[in-house]
């Protein structure tokens, strides 16, 4: 094997291992590295001690718009954009770095992980193909993942507009109205 191709083989293998450790699915590995499927399968088994899960990658944008996934997706995409804008990383390296920072943030704040690496990778692809974008919350000013076709006037993010049971919402609204009218609730 020529020296140059050996070097790229080593690099590709390192990248594949990093991706597998982060939790990437086989489809992600196949699209981000030039290694053969057989080689990737072997690497996957070596790193994780089991075969990769079968099945298609999550394809729909809907998941990213549901409440809790949206909060996590927005956190991730903000980290990713920051890195791309200010760091010297790009492409898959940016996704990997952003994902590690996302995981660190969760660990520090004792929050359960919602966004898998493969979901994060898919999210970036959706942004690249303009199937998703962010808009600013009119209350907190944060940037949140939205569908480009929806209207975003006076957009309220999932944190400023928490879903709750109907009864709770009614009570909260009554309390708020009472407060606004200067009446003790």
Q: Which residues lie near Zn ion (CB under 5 A)? A: 137, 139-140, 157, 160
Cα separation, 40 vs 34, whole angstroms: 10
The Cα–Cα gap between 148 and 71 comes to 17
* Residue whose CB is less far from Zn ion, 84 or 137: 137
Judge whether 130 and 147 are in contact, CB under 8 Å: no
Decide whether 111 or 178 has the Cβ nearer to Zn ion.
111
Burial class (CB in 10 A: 0-12, 13-18, 19+), 110: exposed
**SS3 of residue 98 by DSSP:** helix
Of 33 and 74, CB closest to Zn ion? 74
Q: How far is the CB of 145 from Zn ion (least distance, A)?
A: 13
Is the Cβ of residue 131 or residue 159 nearer to Zn ion in the bound state? 159
* Token reading at 159: 């944190």
Q: Smallest distance from the beta carbon of 140 to Zn ion, in angstroms? A: 3
Write down the least CB distance from residue 127 to Zn ion, Å. Answer: 20
Instruction: Compare residues 41 and 159 and give the one whose CB is closer to Zn ion.
Output: 159
Coil, strand or helix: which one is 59?
A: coil
- Taking the complex as a whole, the smallest distance from the CB of residue 32 to Zn ion amounts, in Å, to 33
- Residues 85, 94 contacting (CB under 8 angstroms): no
Count of residues for the chain?
A: 185
> What is the closest distance, in whole angstroms, from the C-beta atom of residue 99 to Zn ion in the complex?
23
């Amino acid at each position: 094997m020529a020296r140059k191709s050996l070097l790229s083989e080593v690099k590709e293998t390192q990248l594949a291992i990093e991706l597998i450790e982060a939790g990437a699915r086989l489809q992600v590995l196949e699209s981000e590295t030039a290694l053969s499927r057989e080689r990737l399968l072997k690497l996957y088994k070596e790193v994780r001690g089991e075969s990769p899960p079968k099945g298609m990658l999550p394809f729909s944008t809907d998941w990213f718009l549901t409440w809790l996934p949206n909060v996590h997706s927005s956190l991730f995409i903000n980290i990713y954009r920051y890195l791309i804008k200010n760091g010297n990383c790009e492409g898959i390296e940016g996704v990997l770095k952003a994902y590690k920072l996302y995981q660190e943030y969760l660990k520090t704040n004792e929050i359960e992980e919602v966004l898998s690496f493969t979901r994060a990778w898919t999210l970036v692809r959706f942004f690249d193909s303009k199937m998703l974008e962010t808009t600013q919350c009119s209350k907190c000013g944060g940037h949140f993942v939205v569908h480009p076709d929806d209207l975003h006037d006076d957009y309220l993010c999932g944190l400023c507009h928490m879903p709750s049971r109907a009864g709770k919402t009614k009570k909260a609204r009554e309390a708020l109205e009472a407060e606004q009218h200067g009446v003790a609730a």
